[in-house]
Amino acid sequence: MCRSIKPLRNLDHPVTEQEIQEAALQYVRKISGYRKPSKTNKEAFDLAIKEIAKSTGKLLENLHTENSDLRGLI
C-alpha cells in the first residue's frame, strides 16, 4: 500500500471530505503511475479520483467500527 495514504477509519475526529479526496488522489497517482496526468489523460484521472472518493465515502459510512458501534450507547 502507498505509504502516503493514511487509514481513514477510527480517527480521533470525523473524516473530512478533504481527507477522502487526498486519499483518492494518492491512490490514483499510485496505480496510474502519474503524479500529474497529461492534458490528454486529465479527464480520466479526475473522473477516477471523483469515483474513488465517492466509493470511499460510502464505505466509511457503512463500516461498523468500535467507535461507531458505541455511539448509540453513549
pLDDT of amino acid 12: 73
27, pLDDT greater than 60: yes
- Location of C-alpha cell 491512490: 27
pLDDT of residue 15: 85
Higher pLDDT, residue 22 or 74? 22
Taking the C-alpha atoms of residue 1 and residue 61, their distance in angstroms, rounded to an integer, is 22
Q: Which of these ranges, 12-21, 50-59, 65-74, has the smallest mean pLDDT?
A: 65-74
Q: Which range is least confidently modeled, 8-17, 26-35, 63-72?
A: 63-72
Expressed in angstroms, the distance from the first to the final Cα of the chain is 35
- The average confidence (pLDDT) of the chain is 83
